[in-house]
């Protein structure tokens, strides 16, 4: 670590105890150390209305997490006003609209004005400090202004991905108890118009607490307005461009956000003001090596934590220029991302393995067509990135010259916790590995008995031994579930629910969800390990492995395989080949007992494979599929059920 002392990070000294939990000897000094690192970073990075008196007051075992108590600040001032003072005409947002070449730039001054008008409008219409506003909008400047307007007046926001059904939206509105909803008349994605306002109408009909729906116009098509609807842009014009920022405590709620629902019913996680913002800003700057003047291109939707931390809060807190991507990776063709990189001169590109695997299927020519020389860092998030996708991203997209940062984190962690950077720019990055903990993050691996694994070259349950400012404080309305999910499984540690491997060198690799670990005759295998090998076959686009109960082995391995476009092979031959590959690269016991070729896999709306649904399909427990509110396309499940007698 070579940060200068003047930036605050100088207080951080690498500790030698990366892999072990806190022992009684090192504990007090170690904690003091970490607290002063975070305190210095918070003083240096954030603008405070009044300073905090206590850096941290945390007790992981009881789920009590408090950072920077006594401090007062306003998040929108940190993201906007302070940059407007120094560089008002700097571009804050580049709205990359669905049609390529129709992007819109918004400066810091314009975004502040928009936010203030909207803040005043919300205030005038009765939204108060502590209320929660639900935002159902695609990525666009008004969506960002809505988030920041909530922060301006001290309301919490609850952004719901604008692809969710009316029912899923209604459930989130009711859970958050929002009396105000903000939306747009229609969305535009992949050349198609999406009736967002109509979905809101249906949702709100079953939400008696909703008193008003603010409607902005994304398209020119009028929509039917009811008595509770407000023409947002028209009303904003009547408002002042100055809006007094609310004075917020560090630990007041900034937002709640539901998880992707890969492993069960989505959890409404609560993030607070100062700690979250600090962590988003620091990770954005250092993981991606973001420098002033760079254009940051995170293509996640604002409805996910990645969009919150790396399209909105991190880049704006750092005074950066950030892209809001409205389209899809294949609209109008599979060259979309790279054409956008060329046109907007993007320096850091941050996307998901599911999209990389999809684009890889279409071939290199879509990448080569465009100039990608502005790219400096490539990021990946959301799922383990398999070796083949990693290599392609690095070699083809990045021309072998951009570091690929595989970033492991969760809605719960607020920001990136494990990734290759920051580190020496020449330091090794192993393909497919998330590598190193971020500043102040202390990962530990646990064995099945709940003991800390101290050695390297070992796998276990991934936990974090020290609190950090960006972590979620609770599950909305359900602190007990927070304690049971994250604090109780390994008392004194934050439990992530994921499994990881620590290499001989001490680098981390995520092996998948612990819920998905397959136990074959006593051998525990992470789904990512088998899938990684299967995906290395040149005919395979992607795959999903699950365990099913097996009389003799305890569990058997069932693998779903999606082939690349236009591949013509005998499925029986390919099954044999895949078995051979797994047997050689892992072990005979890891070989799939069944392989089923499918057209697509069931995914969450954020693009993650839903293995829990596949498990239920294989177990023929079709009534027990669980919460499907975040399932992207239910037809994918039906297809698999219908073809499940055709497996090898």
Residues lying near Mg ion in the complex (CB under 5 A) are found at 259
Give the C-alpha separation, 179 to 260, whole Å.
Answer: 24
Give the C-alpha separation, 420 to 445, whole Å.
Answer: 18
Please, what is the minimum distance in Å from the beta carbon of residue 85 to ligand ATP? Answer: 35
Instruction: Name the token pair of 20.
Output: 């072990």
List interacting residues with ligand ATP (CB under 6 A). Answer: 259-264, 266-267, 304-305, 381-384, 406-411, 434, 496-498, 510, 513, 606, 608
Q: What is the dihedral of CA 97, 98, 100, 106, to 10 degrees?
A: 0
Phi, psi of 132 (to 5 degrees): -125, 125
Instruction: Name the token pair of 139.
Output: 């990525």
Asked if residue 611 lies in contact with residue 619, where contact means CB atoms within 8 angstroms, the answer is: no
434 interface partner picked from Mg ion, ligand ATP, none, CB below 5 to 8 A per type: ligand ATP
Toward Mg ion, which CB reaches closer, 366 or 486?
Answer: 486
Toward ligand ATP, which CB reaches closer, 210 or 510?
Answer: 510
Please, what is the minimum distance in Å from the beta carbon of residue 265 to ligand ATP? Answer: 7
498 interface partner picked from ligand ATP, Mg ion, none, CB below 5 to 8 A per type: ligand ATP
383 interface partner picked from ligand ATP, Mg ion, none, CB below 5 to 8 A per type: ligand ATP
608 interface partner picked from Mg ion, ligand ATP, none, CB below 5 to 8 A per type: ligand ATP
Asked if residue 328 lies in contact with residue 356, where contact means CB atoms within 8 angstroms, the answer is: no
384 interface partner picked from Mg ion, ligand ATP, none, CB below 5 to 8 A per type: ligand ATP
Give the C-alpha separation, 586 to 545, whole Å.
Answer: 14
Give the C-alpha separation, 28 to 31, whole Å.
Answer: 5
Secondary structure (H, E, C), 597-642:
EECCCCEECCCCECHHHHHHHHCCCHHHCCCCCCECCHHHHHHHHH
Please, what is the minimum distance in Å from the beta carbon of residue 632 to Mg ion? Answer: 17
506 interface partner picked from Mg ion, ligand ATP, none, CB below 5 to 8 A per type: none
- Quote the strand ranges of 151-218, DSSP E: 156-159, 180-184, 187-189, 192-194, 212-216
382 interface partner picked from Mg ion, ligand ATP, none, CB below 5 to 8 A per type: ligand ATP
Burial class from Cβ neighbours inside 10 Å (0-12, 13-18, 19+) for residue 36 reads middle
Toward ligand ATP, which CB reaches closer, 305 or 640?
Answer: 305
Q: Report the interhelical angle of 196-205 vs 166-176 (nearest 10°).
A: 60
Please, what is the minimum distance in Å from the beta carbon of residue 412 to ligand ATP? Answer: 6
Please, what is the minimum distance in Å from the beta carbon of residue 139 to ligand ATP? Answer: 16
Please, what is the minimum distance in Å from the beta carbon of residue 605 to ligand ATP? Answer: 10
Q: Where are the alpha helices (DSSP H) in 57-107?
A: 75-76, 82-86
Please, what is the minimum distance in Å from the beta carbon of residue 396 to ligand ATP? Answer: 20
615 interface partner picked from Mg ion, ligand ATP, none, CB below 5 to 8 A per type: none
Give the C-alpha separation, 129 to 132, whole Å.
Answer: 9
Q: Which residue is nearest to Mg ion (CB)?
A: 259
Toward Mg ion, which CB reaches closer, 420 or 497?
Answer: 497
Toward ligand ATP, which CB reaches closer, 319 or 602?
Answer: 602
- CA distances (Å), origin 130, targets 15, 123, 125: 40, 12, 15
Please, what is the minimum distance in Å from the beta carbon of residue 229 to ligand ATP? Answer: 31
Give the C-alpha separation, 82 to 90, whole Å.
Answer: 12
Instruction: Name the token pair of 292.
Output: 């002033």
Please, what is the minimum distance in Å from the beta carbon of residue 69 to ligand ATP? Answer: 27
Please, what is the minimum distance in Å from the beta carbon of residue 280 to ligand ATP? Answer: 15
Neighbouring C-beta atoms of residue 588, cutoff 10 Å: 10
Toward ligand ATP, which CB reaches closer, 201 or 301?
Answer: 301
Please, what is the minimum distance in Å from the beta carbon of residue 243 to ligand ATP? Answer: 32
Give the C-alpha separation, 524 to 341, whole Å.
Answer: 41
406 interface partner picked from ligand ATP, Mg ion, none, CB below 5 to 8 A per type: ligand ATP
Toward ligand ATP, which CB reaches closer, 68 or 409?
Answer: 409
Toward ligand ATP, which CB reaches closer, 152 or 608?
Answer: 608
Q: Return all residues near 347 (Cβ < 8 A) that are at least 6 apart.
A: 290, 291, 294, 295, 296, 297, 374, 375, 376, 377
407 interface partner picked from ligand ATP, Mg ion, none, CB below 5 to 8 A per type: ligand ATP
Please, what is the minimum distance in Å from the beta carbon of residue 386 to ligand ATP? Answer: 10
Toward ligand ATP, which CB reaches closer, 325 or 508?
Answer: 508
Instruction: Name the token pair of 161.
Output: 């991905």
596 interface partner picked from Mg ion, ligand ATP, none, CB below 5 to 8 A per type: none
381 interface partner picked from ligand ATP, Mg ion, none, CB below 5 to 8 A per type: ligand ATP
CA neighbor of 241 nearest in space, from 80, 94, 47: 80
Toward ligand ATP, which CB reaches closer, 272 or 419?
Answer: 419
DSSP per residue, 536-594: TSTTEEEEEEEEEEETTTEEEEEEEEEEPTT----HHHHHHHHHHHHHHHT-GGGS-SE
Neighbouring C-beta atoms of residue 245, cutoff 10 Å: 21
Toward Mg ion, which CB reaches closer, 110 or 259?
Answer: 259
Asked if residue 409 lies in contact with residue 381, where contact means CB atoms within 8 angstroms, the answer is: yes
Toward Mg ion, which CB reaches closer, 254 or 472?
Answer: 472
Toward ligand ATP, which CB reaches closer, 185 or 263?
Answer: 263
Structural Rg of the chain based on CA atoms: 24
Toward ligand ATP, which CB reaches closer, 38 or 390?
Answer: 390
Please, what is the minimum distance in Å from the beta carbon of residue 470 to ligand ATP? Answer: 13
421 interface partner picked from ligand ATP, Mg ion, none, CB below 5 to 8 A per type: none
Please, what is the minimum distance in Å from the beta carbon of residue 126 to ligand ATP? Answer: 32
79 interface partner picked from ligand ATP, Mg ion, none, CB below 5 to 8 A per type: none
């Amino acid at each position: 670590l070579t940060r200068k002392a003047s930036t605050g990070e100088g207080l951080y000294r690498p500790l030698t105890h990366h892999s072990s939990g806190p022992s009684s000897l090192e504990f007090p000094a170690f904690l003091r150390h970490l607290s002063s690192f975070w305190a210095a970073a918070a003083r240096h990075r954030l603008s405070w209305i009044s300073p905090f008196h206590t850096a941290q007051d945390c007790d992981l075992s009881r789920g009590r997490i408090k950072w920077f108590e006594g401090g007062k600040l306003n998040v929108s001032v940190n993201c906007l006003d302070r940059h407007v003072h120094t560089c008002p005409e700097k571009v804050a947002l580049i709205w990359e609209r669905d049609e390529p070449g129709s992007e819109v730039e918004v400066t810091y001054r314009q975004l502040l004005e928009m936010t203030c008008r909207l803040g005043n409008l919300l205030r005038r219409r009765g939204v108060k400090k502590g209320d929660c506003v639900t935002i159902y909008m695609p990525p666009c400047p008004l969506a960002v202004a809505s988030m920041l307007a909530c922060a301006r007046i001290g309301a919490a926001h609850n952004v719901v991905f604008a692809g969710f059904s009316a029912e899923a939206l209604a459930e989130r509105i009711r859970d958050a108890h929002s009396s105000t909803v903000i939306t747009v008349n229609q969305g535009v994605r992949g050349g198609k118009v999406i009736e967002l306002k109509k979905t809101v109408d249906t949702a709100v009909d079953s939400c008696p607490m909703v008193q008003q729906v603010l409607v902005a116009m994304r398209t020119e098509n009028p929509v039917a307005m009811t008595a509770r609807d407000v023409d947002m842009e028209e009303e904003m014009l009547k408002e002042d461009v100055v809006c007094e920022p609310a004075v917020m405590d560090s630990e007041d709620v900034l937002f709640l956000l539901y998880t992707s629902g890969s492993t069960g019913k989505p959890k409404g996680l609560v993030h607070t003001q100062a700690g979250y913002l600090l962590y988003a800003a620091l990770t954005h700057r250092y993981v991606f090596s973001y420098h002033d003047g760079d254009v940051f291109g995170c293509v996640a939707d604002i409805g996910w934590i990645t969009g919150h931390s790396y399209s909105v809060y991190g880049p704006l807190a750092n005074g950066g220029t950030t892209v809001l991507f409205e389209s899809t990776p294949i609209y109008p063709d599979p060259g979309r991302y790279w054409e956008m990189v060329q046109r907007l001169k993007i320096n850091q590109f941050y996307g998901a393995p599911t999209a990389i695997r999809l684009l890889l299927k279409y071939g290199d020519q879509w990448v080569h067509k465009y100039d990608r020389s502005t790219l400096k860092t490539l990021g990946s998030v959301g799922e383990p990135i398999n070796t083949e996708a990693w290599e392609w991203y690095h070699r083809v997209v990045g021309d072998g010259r951009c570091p690929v940062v595989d970033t492991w984190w969760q809605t719960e962690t607020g920001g990136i916790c494990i990734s290759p950077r920051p580190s020496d720019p020449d330091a090794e990055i192993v393909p497919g590995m998330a590598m190193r903990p971020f500043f102040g993050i202390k990962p530990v691996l646990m064995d099945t008995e709940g003991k800390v694994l101290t050695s390297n070259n070992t796998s276990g349950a991934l936990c974090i031994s020290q609190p950090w400012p960006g972590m979620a404080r609770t599950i909305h309305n359900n602190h007990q579930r927070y304690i049971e999910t994250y604090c109780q499984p390994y008392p004194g540690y934050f439990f992530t629910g994921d499994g990881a491997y620590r290499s001989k060198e001490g680098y981390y690799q995520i092996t998948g969800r612990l819920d998905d670990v397959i136990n074959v005759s006593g051998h525990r295998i992470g789904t990512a390990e088998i899938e990684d090998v299967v995906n290395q076959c040149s005919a395979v686009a992607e795959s999903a492995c699950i365990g099913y109960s097996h009389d003799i082995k305890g569990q058997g391995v069932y693998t779903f395989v999606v082939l690349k476009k236009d591949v013509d092979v005998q499925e029986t031959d390919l099954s044999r080949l895949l078995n051979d590959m797994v047997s050689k690269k892992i072990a005979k016991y890891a070989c799939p007992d069944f392989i089923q070729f499918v057209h697509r896999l069931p995914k969450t709306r954020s693009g993650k494979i839903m293995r829990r649904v596949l498990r239920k399909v294989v177990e023929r427990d079709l009534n027990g599929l669980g919460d499907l509110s975040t399932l992207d396309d239910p037809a994918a499940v039906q297809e698999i059920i219908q073809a499940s007698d055709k497996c090898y």
